Amino acid sequence: MSNKNVDDYLTEGLYGTRLPKEQERIQFLGTLRERIVLALTIGQVMSDSGISKLEEAISENPNAKLLINGHVPYRFLKAEKALANKYNIPYTTITNKETDTDIGAVLTYDHAIDKENIFIEDEKSDDNKEKIADQDEQHTFLNKVKKWFGS
């Protein structure tokens, strides 16, 4: 028999039984990292930058399911839901107001697959980063003031 005291029973009754790797489950929309085929950040979901990789992963893993972050506005999730319907895989929208994660969508199994690389690297080149930095520099407040006074 276990050595639970009254406090353990009260805590369990109020908050439910503790799950192993609870922080990992919070981060990955209720699943464990070892079960994930592909994870997209909220930014990748909103910009559709990972949609081709997601389609490739879905076509290679037809028995997986898609978990979608419910905090992402609906209009940004149309492409992901359309892919799930196209390949006939189930998807679930996960909304947990008590937790916060930067993960926007996860393609996962119910069992461990231990895939090493589950994230998509951003495909921005160094040239694009330099152009963005130059544009930001041109639009600084100080430069605008200088233009006003002709200095």
Digit-coded pLDDT (tens) for 46-58: 998 899 999 999 9
Strands 103-108 and 36-41 turn out to be antiparallel
* Model confidence pLDDT, tens digit, residues 74-122: 899 999 999 999 999 999 999 987 788 999 999 999 999 989 899 987 6
The 10 Å Cβ neighbour count of residue 151 is 6
Domains of the chain: 23-143 (3.30.1330.30)
- Is the torsion defined by CA of 75, 79, 80, 85 positive or negative? positive
